[in-house]
Amino acid sequence: MNAELNQQGKSEGECEEIKIDEIEKEKKHIYLEETQTIDKSKMIFYHPQEFPEYDKIPNDELLISCWNINGLRSILFKGDLQKYIEDRKPDILCLNETKCHADSFTETDAIWISEGYVAFFNCATIKKGYSGTAVLSKYRPISVKFGIDIEKHDLEGRTITLEFERFYLVTCYAPNSGINLVGLPYRTEEWDLDFKNYLNRLKKKKHVILCGDLNCAHQEIDIHNPQTNLQTAGFTLQERKRFDELLESGFVDTFRHLSPDRKKFSYFSLRFNLRESNKGWRIDYFLVDKDGLPAVKDSLINDKVYGSDHLPIELIVDPNFICVED
């Protein structure tokens, strides 16, 4: 991985949608032993063979995984991410909280990527060791977008959107409201509103699958001790109200839809061995638009995997589902 294919100037905060076909027109084929740099914080790594040109994903069942890994370098050092990919072989893997910084991220940070995947990284630019998202896909998207077109939200590498024939896949690492709720006004009065509007704009065009650490336990069933956390970031009434509004705008929490009474968590604080005592929060989600819900075959929290304070979540979905109104 020693060749940088392209570098384009871009004003700070400007969100760009990259059409994969445009790369090919410039004879920059899908090679993961080379790198395309969109700007210093947004990178695409390609494998050493061309991806087939599918008109659509040629399967009726797709495994999409999403995992807050709490630091890419740490989990790679332990080998847990590599083992998960080898064992589960997800068709698409979304990563949250990579903590990769633009200035220190190098091509050697991507040598672990298995053959057969194209990888997209969106790194934070304002703070080192913070935030960041990535997506690995076995299938070539039509386009990829880093951010949501609003500068104040797009400096921390929190979202990546991949466009496929029948749907958009959005991975998101939502902002935490912070200690003493110092970030609550930004979270609930700015981010949540703008992100909901972004998703609904996509929904007007195609089905939408949203996955990620949304930093909100939506209902009391989603947290082991609700009454003592009403003023804790991630479980305030304000954050839960915004989650209600997102669902009311036309989205479905797939895990809760399929398991309405199941109390299962996706996040456990590393302090006090809380995973062993099953004292956690469910803050990692797969949401789909209501019209796309029939495409969902299963929505899981994988509690067999270690390596982070979060568990991987998994969605099994028909990627070529066509709503009768489409």
Decide if 168 is catalytic: no
Residue with tokens 């896909």: 137
Residue with tokens 């001790």: 225
Residue with tokens 């061995």: 273
Annotated catalytic residue, options 31, 117, 173, 267:
173
DSSP-derived 3-state class of residue 67: strand
Q: What is residue 310's DSSP assignment?
A: B
- For residues 271 and 113, what is the distance between their CA atoms, to the nearest angstrom? 31
Residue 47 near residue 32, CB atoms below 8 Å = yes
Q: How far is CA 300 from CA 8, 82, 159, 325, in A?
A: 39, 20, 22, 28
Query: Which of 155, 151, 191, 152 is CA-nearest to residue 175?
Result: 191
* Token digits of residue 317: 């979905």
Q: For residue 1, count other CB atoms closer than 10 A to its CB.
A: 18
CB contact burial 284-299 (16+ within 10 A = b; e otherwise): bbbbbbebbbebbeeb
Annotated catalytic residue, options 213, 222, 253, 284:
213
Q: What is the dihedral sign for C-alpha 189, 205, 89, 100?
A: negative
DSSP-derived 3-state class of residue 303: coil
Residue 255 near residue 301, CB atoms below 8 Å = yes
Decide if 213 is catalytic: yes
Angle at which helices 192-203 and 237-248 pack, to 10 degrees? Answer: 10
DSSP for 261-274, written as a single string: T----SB--TGGGT
Q: Which residues are catalytic?
A: 173, 213
